[in-house]
Amino acid sequence: MATTPNLNTIFESLCQIPKLQGTPMTARNFGIEAPDVTVQATRRRAIGLGSIVLFGNVCIGNSWAEDNGFWITGPLPVPYAINDLNNKETGTRTFLKKGIYIADVGIKGRRRRLKRSAFDLIALGDLIDQKDAWNYVRRYLHLKGTFMYFDFDEVISAATEDDKKPLTDLANRLFDSIEKLEVAVRKQDYPQTETCYQATTAVLEEVMSRMG
């Protein structure tokens, strides 16, 4: 890991720099033949140079991102589901987005994220009657639906045998509803969108209740 300069040493050095504010320094003082150019040197510029010294050295050697355990330095892991959560006809889910990193926050964290995602999707009701916002609604359905898909998969995998089937049924009912809602929004069919939204909201409320 790169050695970080001592902060006290830097700031002590900066404090010893005399006040230059109000003292005009021309380009000639720097050996430049341009008498009309005036450079105002201040302590603020000195502090700026100190910050360059401080943070410039941090980039030397191994980066902190490789050492703190919270950053990924290689390719993003590709999420995949092991439970039966796909549409029986298509073999997938049309709302799934690729290239999204889904952090592993543990089973409790995933349950909380499922509850939060359900709440966020219910809040989309304010945008259903605004056709100029439907493109945003579709993108949000894709994003939140993808997170819920993989979170449900992990929660189901960690559940007891008695809970696996009820959770799988709940997840599939939700994803079926999201797919139908997404199609209605894409077609800009307002009556169908309203109907699908109401059906999806009922399932989302059930998800929030089940996730506690």
Question: Which of 22-26, 78-82, 123-127, 175-179 is the most confident on average?
Answer: 175-179
Are the CB atoms for 111 and 211 separated by under 8 Å?
Answer: yes
Kindly indicate the confidence band of residue 58, based on its pLDDT and cuts at 50, 70 and 90.
very low
Set out the domains of the chain in order of their start, with CATH numbers.
Answer: 7-66 (no CATH), 106-211 (1.20.120.290)
Across 46-60, 70-84, 95-109, 150-164, least confident range? 46-60
Judge whether residue 94 has pLDDT over 80. yes
Kindly indicate the confidence band of residue 9, based on its pLDDT and cuts at 50, 70 and 90.
low
* pTM of full prediction above 0.85: no
* 72-75-81 Cα angle (round to 5): 95
Helix (H), strand (E) at residue 211: helix 190-211
> Tokens in use for 124?
């989309």
Judge whether residue 47 has pLDDT over 70. no
Across 44-58, 140-154, 189-203, least confident range? 44-58
pLDDT confidence of residue 38 = 43
- Measure the CA–CA gap between 196 and 73, rounded to whole angstroms: 41
- CA dist 114 → 46, 63, 102, 123, 166 (Å): 50, 34, 12, 14, 16
Judge whether residue 8 has pLDDT over 90. no
For the chain, percent of residues with pLDDT exceeding 70: 64
52 against 6, higher pLDDT = 6
